[in-house]
Amino acid sequence: MSTYLIRKGDTLSALASRFNTSVSTLAKLNKIANPNLIYAGKTLRIPGHSQSDSFEPSKGTKRPGRSSGTKGGNQVEESRGTAGPGQATAAMRKLASAGRAAALSMGGYNSQGLCATGVSKAIQNAFGFKVWGNGNQIDNNLPRDKFKQVNMSLEQALKIPGLVLTWEKTSSRLGSIYGHTAITTGDGRSSVSDFIERNTLGAGGRSGLKIFMPTM
């Protein structure tokens, strides 16, 4: 067991990934009632590491201080205000439905290597506009007045319908160049693009995840 000093910009999901543990484990160990809200300057207990492991700033490193205009001083938020599984908006449900329809019309349960095409088709069918780019470009092309980036784990996102997932890279040759993108169905497991991926959590070798929520 060791400790880590939470820094401004940290999220519990990112720290869980960094230290090879889970959000629920960290939350339970540190008695965190709301895993979506942690505070810079607080100490986090990390399981599975020896006391000799050092996650604290080196001596002389300035610890995070209060920043003017920040609510609660050093408040670090992760997906505050994001709709939960039972609170998805009509736009989110519409996108999830359009995503499934697009996937079934393209590849069914087999990838065609056209994930961005499937996601773009779903967005166009749901909202009437098209988003261009491949799997790792769509995140930059989503209209910011219609989508907002949210911070949560993939496990959390998959429980919510109608979120857009983008990865910078995957383990395949084309995926290492073009990344991957998909839309959550809300069942806690699957996502859709040009096909229905039954177990998105089990798809390894992906990195650079970003998650976007429609705000229309």
Query: For the chain, what are the domain ranges?
Result: 2-77, 85-214
* Residue 84, pLDDT score: 54
* Residue 70, pLDDT score: 34
Tell me how long the chain is.
Answer: 216
* Residue 85, pLDDT score: 52
Rounded Cα distance, 167 and 73, in Å = 32
* Residue 86, pLDDT score: 55
Instruction: Give 3-state DSSP helix, strand, coil % of the chain, rounded to 5.
Output: 25, 20, 55
Burial of 22 (0-12, 13-18, 19+ CB in 10 A): middle
162 token code pair: 């109608």
Four-residue CA torsion sign, 130, 134, 139, 140: negative
Which CATH architecture describes the domain 2-77?
Answer: Roll (3.10)
Of the candidate CATH numbers 3.90.1720.10, 3.30.210.10, 3.40.50.300, 3.90.1200.10, the domain formed by 85-214 belongs to 3.90.1720.10
Divide the 216 residues of the chain into consecutive groups of 10 and give the mean pLDDT of each group.
Answer: 78 81 86 84 75 42 37 38 65 95 94 93 96 90 92 92 94 88 95 96 90 92
* Residue 14, pLDDT score: 81
* Residue 185, pLDDT score: 95
